[in-house]
Amino acid sequence: MPVARINGTTLGYDVYGTGEPVVLVTGTAAPGRVWRSHQVPALRAAGYQAITLDNRGIGPSGPCEEGTTLADLAADVAGLIDHLGAGPCRLVGFSLGAIIVQELLLARPELAVQAVLMATCGRADALISAMAAADVELCDSDVKLPPRYAAYVQAIQNLSPRTLNDGQRLQGWLDIFEMSPVTPAGVRHQLGLQAIADRLSAYRRVSCPCLVIAFRDDLIARPHLGREVADSIPGGSYTEIAGCGHYGYLERPDEVNSAIIDFFARPRRSPARRMP
């Protein structure tokens, strides 16, 4: 994996294929390689170049230290786009990665031509705030959950009833979760970043076409929160995919990939005038 020096830190990234670039930004504690199973092959088959990266805190990228902000993570993505000469480009973000993309669209609008925002929000409601605080408290407590228990909790939080009720599929997920436990200490300062202040009014200044994808059974970024983002972005569009939870891009990859590629294939409109 190549590594670039960006904004005073190191960022690990991968570039797949050729064509118009699509930069994929993932969520809390996740490495960029999560896109490789489904989204990277689909984008390459559609003629795009896929660029993935590891956010700060995920090796080989540098640490996510105390005081790291969403603006820092958005600047990292922008810096990588500049480093690769990939702008203006398309962006895809998931969960925290979608919020990072939203901040990039405000800070560096010239770098984006289209963006897909999955499992996102524009404000932290009571549940998101409680989850973020609880994650930080658990990390700081030094309590280590047994892997089997942690896998079960991760499944309940992130998968749909469709998967939870299918014993064979569920076992596959549980095996993955148990073999690939999240190590909270390494991403301690990513954990609270999704508890954002209300940014919906700021998103009225977003000037590129955006598609918000929500997952109907998502218990973390519940669909109405994504719809709020789509409604706030001028010309924003919204779609909701059934039969999947927070990890919908992995549970229902064919439907998600079709939504992304169909959106990218739409004729591009001229950027909207930025509101003051």
**How far is 89 from 82, CA to CA, in rounded Å?**
11
246 assigned to active site: yes
218 assigned to active site: yes
Query: Tokens 């790291």 correspond to what residue?
Result: 68
Q: Are the C-beta atoms of residues 6 and 79 closer than 8 Å to each other?
A: yes
Exactly one of 135, 160, 189, 246 is catalytic; which is it? 246
Task: Please count the other Cβ atoms lying within 10 Å of the Cβ belonging to residue 243.
Answer: 15
61 assigned to active site: no
Exactly one of 61, 72, 95, 135 is catalytic; which is it? 95
Exactly one of 61, 76, 218, 232 is catalytic; which is it? 218
**How far is 155 from 167, CA to CA, in rounded Å?**
12
| Maximal C-alpha separation, the chain | 53
DSSP code, position 8: T
Helix axes 96-107, 70-84, angle to 10 degrees: 70
Active-site amino acid positions: 95, 218, 246
